[in-house]
Amino acid sequence: MHSSKKIVVLGHFGVGKTSLIRRFVTDTFSDNYKVTIGVHITKKLVEIAVDREVSLILWDLEGTDEIESIRDSYLLGTHGLVFVFDVSRPSTFEHLGNDLKIVRNKVPETPLMVVGNKSDLVDKAELKTVLDENELSADFLTSAKTGEFVNELFLKLATLLVGDA
Amino acid sequence: MYPKMDEKDKLEILKDILLADEHEFEEKISRRIELLEQTVHEREKLSEKVNPIISHQLDDFTKNIPETLGPTITETLKKQIKINKDEVVDALYPIMGKMVKKYVAQEMKLLSEKMNNQLSFLSFFKRKFKSGVTGQNENEIMLGDLATASIQQVLLIEKDSGILKASYSKSNAMDEEMVSGMLTAIKSFVEDAFNQRNQELESIEYELYEIHLQSFATHYIAVVISGNYMLSAKNKLQDIIFDFYNSFMAMNLDLVFETKNAQKSIVPVPKSRIERELAKYFGHAQL
């Protein structure tokens, strides 16, 4: 059985959205930073169970510090969302609660995963302190560079969405 | 020895014996009345009893709306339209006006294209001139002019999500799911950028191909065309698209009728069936 799901990946500038997707889709990483303009679309077929495949159509939205300014039309018909912040850059999670509220208002009732990326840049103890001090709760702490928890993130979302269908 | 009973006591004992059953019954009744009073006065308890009945009645009512209220609604609508003619015209004008305007503009272009074809002797000089300027063989220019439009690929796409519903393709050169997403993103971007949500992107051109986009309420159809895509071809293509879409809608309407019968669950139209229809309509279409 096959189905397709639209996943929108969003967050502030330079948090590693494109790198996360690239790691997931092609299992590669590049330090060469290129800004995403508009939206970039990629696809990955995920097998979540025997005879159960899901095509994840990944919409990589350009980063913005004004989450409010994200085009509503890009979010239409979205099945799942991934909100990414950079654990090494406080400006990307200082207003996480408010950012998530804005996203929730735009697409209520759509499953949302909150992801702290670039976990390789901060040591584990420091990371815990950062999370505790800022009262952050992330579903996954990933590293696009090392690949840590990247597959797990998308697999969990895919399973959640198919369960929802 | 028993104390002596007077008539009154005897009567009392007799009454007790005879009315014992009635007392029990009376108590039972009063207990039930008390319970009923409690149920009626306590909202939660009452809801527990009444809700299933209301819900059942509501289900019946919903199921029977077409039969019971249908004629009344139609009659009311007719009356309201008659009374508020101006308001109805105002509401429909932008939609109808846009459609009429589009139709007239297309017909005018078609007429002009036909006139150009009639003046074909001019094409001869045009070809000569083009050949002289570009150095290209005149025959090649003529062949290029004559290359008829041909449908290469058709994608039926969900309008909001950009998810591909079904497709027809003469060659499997590209990832159709990704292309569907990208087309939807481009469409959204253009429509947003011009701040015209009531207008739609209709075509995308690149060197050898043109992508014709036809939007409907919940889906849109993207047709990739190669060759000389003239207005006459566009007209034919639109007719094919409308015919197909009617058939697609009919397939979906089957579902609506099925869901009216509440016992049956919604059965999505299988992708293979839609793709068969796409191949039937677009596979051998001559533009």
Size of interface A-B (CB pairs under 8 A): 52
**How much is the mean pLDDT over chain A?**
91
Q: What does the pLDDT look like over A111-142, one tens digit per residue?
A: 999 999 999 999 888 888 888 887 888 999 99
pLDDT of residue B266: 60
Residue B174 confidence (pLDDT) above 70: yes
Q: What does the pLDDT look like over A22-46, one tens digit per residue?
A: 999 999 998 888 888 889 999 999 9
CB-CB contact of A121 with A87 (8 Å):
yes
| Pairing, β B164-169 against β B203-206 | unpaired
Domain tally, chain A: 1
- The lowest-confidence range among A71-80, B78-87, B231-240 is B78-87
- The label of the residue with tokens 């889906």 reads B219
Q: What number of residues does chain B have? A: 287
Q: H or E element: which one contains A42?
A: strand A39-49
pTM summary value: 0.66
Chain B positions in Cβ-Cβ contact with residue A4 (cut-off 8 Å): 163-164, 177
Which of B161, B186, B201 should we substitute to test contact with A (largest number of A Cβ atoms within 10 Å)? B161
pLDDT of residue B200: 84
Of A4, A73, A79, the CB nearest to B164: A4
What is the value of ipTM here, to two decimals? 0.83
With an 8 Å Cβ cutoff, is B93 touching chain A? no
B238 vs B132, which has greater pLDDT? B238
> Inter-chain contact B185–A6, Cβ cutoff 8 Å?
no
B149-287 topology per CATH: Beta-Lactamase (3.30.450)
Structure confidence at residue B18 as a pLDDT band (50, 70, 90): confident
User: What is the share, in percent, of chain A residues with pLDDT greater than 90?
Assistant: 73
Which of A6, A8, A21, A79 should we substitute to test contact with B (largest number of B Cβ atoms within 10 Å)? A6
Distance from CA of A119 to the nearest CA of B (A): 30
Domain with A38, as residue range(s), is 2-164
Cβ neighbour number for residue B186 with a 10 Å cutoff: 17
The Cα-based distances of B22 to B10, B28, B60 in angstroms read 19, 10, 43
- CATH 3.30.450.70 domain extents, chain B: 149-287
pLDDT of residue A10: 96
Q: What does the pLDDT look like over B214-262, one tens digit per residue?
A: 988 888 999 999 888 888 888 899 999 988 888 877 776 665 555 555 5
Residue B264 confidence (pLDDT) above 60: no
Distance from CA of B29 to the nearest CA of A (A): 51
Residue B170 confidence (pLDDT) above 80: yes
The top-scoring range by mean pLDDT among A12-21, B26-35, B75-84 is: A12-21
pLDDT of residue B48: 80
CATH of the domain at A78: 3.40.50.300
**How much is the mean pLDDT over chain B?**
79
With an 8 Å Cβ cutoff, is B201 touching chain A? no
